[in-house]
Structure 1
């Protein structure tokens, strides 16, 4: 018997020479045998293997939704026959333990944690934030009944079998078989339904808020219709590989809006209008949708509609021009004239639409400016009220200020007295008899200065006397030389006499 081959364009890939699996399945053939079996009993007999299988299925189902293999929702898992069929693998079959997987993922791992999956109906009906402790009882009360079969009843019957309380020959065997075979039965559809992947929802919510924070500059940027919201934020979801339609589904939008409004408190939704809260510049947005918001959104929608019309008219004009050229090329003058007349009419319509667009855009800018001025004046008023409230505090009254300053001066003087007393006490403790008077120190310093000056003056006088003696000696030196050497005339006279 020949083994069927997988087409090149198939969403399946080969993991071995014998088994072809979908792209969102990543496991060896031997591993698939365990994953596709009814492993719910392993929760008690082999908890490590059970948790490993549950974690594998969590990642696989999350990738299945994230990558758009459902063709519609990218936040909500549609647990139904189509899901089971899409996971069918040749030579392995269909997964028969998906009911137990869904039941496990719907159940919170601990009282303080959140489940991986939320039933859509339960998620949308919770009155409080899913992160609030008040939501825990409401969620547990709304857990689908089939969860009890997988999470409570089956492990209980397994434990009873182990201790021999129940068994094949017992009267309770018929009851036990209901639970033990519920997940393997092909007719079991109690776990079918729509479930929100919390992790995907949180990621999508963060992406939406980040994108909105970048573009929010005016009042109209914070307002959307449902259709405008879907068009603007459809690219904030995960991968679109394999998805034929990247537009956000209505169910995804409903879940996302509920999450952003109730759990993140980032938006307000009312009568088909979505308003992002927060601030624009220094202005705080109202936490409700006002008549001004509705008017601004209507203008914004009209401007967007006119932009769409203008783009469409431009395309039609280009089409008429191309058709007229083609008609002339075929020497069909009458048809070409018809196309040109149609183009002329479209050009006139374009002129009117552009005029209307200019008027509406100008009006929208003025309305946004006026709304901004109102918010600024509200900020001024709030600041003034706050400042007056602070200044009216009793501690800032003149009498109170004077009393406070006087008390501070007295406290400072007391501190100086205490410091001086502590210094005197310290001197006494160190054996110092008396405190040295500053006048005595100054007199002693003056005496030292006088001594230094007299010493310097004496040295100066001695130096001057020495210099004087040196100059006197220099002046007396030529006289001595004249008396010791005879004059030339006397010498000649003595020689002649001889």
Structure 2
């Protein structure tokens, strides 16, 4: 099974084995008889084709695989064919549904659009017109999707949006204008690295990304050689000479850096070759290798000096760009401060406000002092009344103590009386007398003879 089929059939819930007969059947009529089943099948196929394109597994005319678009036709049907279920019979219906949902857009319509595809006034027509024309010619049956799949290219909008978002977040987030300007080749290489494209961006993918970022998102300005990410709030629509110069300088530095690396590797290789020739007693080969080494060393010296000069110029440009940015911020800050000072009204107004504030704060203190002092002047304590209340409390306490003592005395007398009565009862009892009238036991000291 091909990588494409492994990816699609390995999607789990959408393409589980029990659903494959339905997914590969002509389910076009289910649009009316079973809308839920129709929606589930079309959604599964649209999602599968989107992921397959993103993975670079859809067939293409050349060796390069596009990730942002797909091409319908016999090659696509053949790549999706299986021994058990054959070809997907409703694939044309799936493409129609994807176009109606704006998951896919006819390639030429996308590229030729002057307005943003997100505009409410923008509509997709060519695919529908083409299908309608075939129906009028009775080449297509509206009740089935099993007819021949027309040859056409479609932009996969979710893939374009995702790719654009990743590129902007990593390449367009720099604050410095220099870092946001790229030569076209460097932009293509870096974008391919971000999107993890093994062979870099194809021409089609690069064209779609540039179109979408410039027209639909207004993130970039570009021409055939330069790409510049706009700063926040920037409204310019054309590249300046400064932008193009920066891009050219970056390209020269990148080319010279590559040449320096190649020459360095070549010099090392020639040194090894010369050493091997000497070890093999091959003087002629050793001399040839050393001569080539000297030529490479001379070229390396020249390239390195030029590269150092260009890098110095690039550093100065970066410094100047930073200074321009700082001056713009300072200029804007000056305007803000001037506006704020105008709202303040000058130093005289400030002094008047502060003086008035002091007066009002003084009034608050005066009012507070009057409130605190007022009750103290009006309240006079009657000392004689306080003394009388104290004497009354002392008398009440003394009476409570006397009553408590009397109760305790009565309780003790009751206990004594009760004990005497108990003793009298024991005397009257003969058994108690026989035991109680016995002579008491001698003291312990007498028993032990002490």
Shift of 1:22: 4.0
Shift of 1:352: 1.2
- Residues 109 and 126, structure 2, Cα contact 8 Å, conserved in 1: yes
Partner of 2:81: 88
Partner of 1:458: none
Partner of 2:308: 358
Partner of 1:207: 166
- Residues 266 and 276, structure 1, Cα contact 8 Å, conserved in 2: yes
Partner of 1:226: 184
Shift of 1:437: 5.4
2:115 to 120, 125, 128: 128
Shift of 1:350: 0.7
Secondary structure of the 1:118 match is strand
Tell me how far apart the structure 2 counterparts of residues 258 and 302 of structure 1 sit (CA, whole Å). 26
Partner of 1:184: 146
Shift of 1:102: 0.6
Secondary structure of the 1:392 match is helix
The higher-RCO structure (CA 8 Å, 6+ apart) is 1
Shift of 1:58: 1.3
Secondary structure of the 1:179 match is coil
Classify 1:437/1:368 alpha carbon distance in 2 versus 1 (closer, same or farther; 3 Å): closer
- Greater Cα shift, 262-271 or 229-238: 262-271
Classify 1:146/1:403 alpha carbon distance in 2 versus 1 (closer, same or farther; 3 Å): farther
Tell me how far apart the structure 2 counterparts of residues 92 and 223 of structure 1 sit (CA, whole Å). 51
Answer yes or no: is 1:54 the counterpart of 2:42: yes
| Count, aligned residues | 373
Tell me how far apart the structure 1 counterparts of residues 290 and 337 of structure 2 sit (CA, whole Å). 69
Partner of 2:103: 116
- Greater Cα shift, 194-203 or 345-354: 194-203
Q: Give TM-score scaled by structure 1 length.
A: 0.65
- Greater Cα shift, 90-99 or 397-406: 397-406
Q: Give TM-score scaled by structure 2 length.
A: 0.71
Secondary structure of the 1:224 match is strand
Partner of 2:30: 42
Secondary structure of the 1:138 match is coil
1:235 to 186, 193, 198: 193
Tell me how far apart the structure 1 counterparts of residues 46 and 375 of structure 2 sit (CA, whole Å). 89
- Residues 324 and 339, structure 1, Cα contact 8 Å, conserved in 2: yes
- Residues 53 and 69, structure 2, Cα contact 8 Å, conserved in 1: yes
Shift of 1:256: 1.3
Provide structure 1 residue ranges, at least 5 long, that are not aligned to the other structure.
Answer: 1-5, 13-20, 109-114, 154-173, 425-435, 453-498
Tell me how far apart the structure 2 counterparts of residues 318 and 278 of structure 1 sit (CA, whole Å). 45
Shift of 1:62: 1.4
Shift of 1:341: 0.6
Classify 1:315/1:182 alpha carbon distance in 2 versus 1 (closer, same or farther; 3 Å): farther
- Residues 22 and 87, structure 1, Cα contact 8 Å, conserved in 2: no
Answer yes or no: is 1:97 the counterpart of 2:34: no
Shift of 1:339: 1.1
Shift of 1:147: 5.4
Tell me how far apart the structure 2 counterparts of residues 81 and 404 of structure 1 sit (CA, whole Å). 84
Tell me how far apart the structure 1 counterparts of residues 277 and 156 of structure 2 sit (CA, whole Å). 57
Classify 1:78/1:271 alpha carbon distance in 2 versus 1 (closer, same or farther; 3 Å): same
Secondary structure of the 2:123 match is helix
- Greater Cα shift, 229-238 or 400-409: 400-409
- Residues 317 and 347, structure 1, Cα contact 8 Å, conserved in 2: yes
Shift of 1:207: 1.6
- Residues 105 and 117, structure 1, Cα contact 8 Å, conserved in 2: yes
Shift of 1:23: 3.6
